[in-house]
Amino acid sequence: MLDASEPPSMRNHRESKIPRLAADENVRHVWTMLAIPILIIALCVGVCRWASGRFEVMLARASKEPAPTAHTGSEVAKLFLTFEEIRDVEIVEHNSTVTNYFDPTRRRLFLSSAVAKGTSMAAWTLALHEAGHATQTGEMLGDVKWRQSVIKMTRYGPVFAALAAALMMFFLRFPPRFAMMGFGVVCVIFLLLNAGTLAVEFNANARLRNFLEKHLSHHVTAYEKLESYLHRAATRELGDLLSSPRYFFFSALPGSGASRPTKGAKE
| Other Cβ atoms within 10 Å of 114 Cβ, number | 17
Q: What pLDDT shows up at residue 145? A: 96
Question: Which residue did the predictor score with more confidence, 19 or 56?
Answer: 56
Report the distance separating Cα 121 and Cα 115, nearest Å: 10
**What letters, b where the CB count within 10 A reaches 16 and e where it falls short, cover 29-49?**
eeeebeeebeebbeebeebbe
pLDDT band at 266, cuts 50/70/90? very low
**What is the structure's pLDDT at 264?**
42
The pLDDT score that the predictor gives to residue 178 is 81
Q: How confident is the model at residue 113 (pLDDT cuts 50, 70, 90)?
A: very high
Sheet holding 108-111, edge to edge: 90-93, 108-111, 101-103
Say whether pLDDT at 243 is over 70: yes
Would you say residue 17 has pLDDT above 80? Answer: no
Whether the per-residue pLDDT at 251 is higher than 90: the answer is no
183 touches 191 (CB < 8 A)? no
Q: If you ran DSSP here, which 8-state letter would residue 255 be given?
A: T
Kindly indicate the confidence band of residue 267, based on its pLDDT and cuts at 50, 70 and 90: very low
**Coil, strand or helix at 253:** coil
Render pLDDT for 201-242 as a digit per residue (tens, 0 to 9).
Answer: 999 999 999 999 999 999 999 999 999 999 999 999 999 998
* pTM, rounded to two decimals: 0.81
What are the pLDDT digits (tens) for 168-207? 888 878 887 788 888 888 999 999 999 999 999 999 999 9
Q: Based on the number of CB atoms within 10 Å of its own CB, is 257 exposed (0-12), middle (13-18) or buried (19 or more)?
A: exposed
Please, what is the average pLDDT of the chain?
86
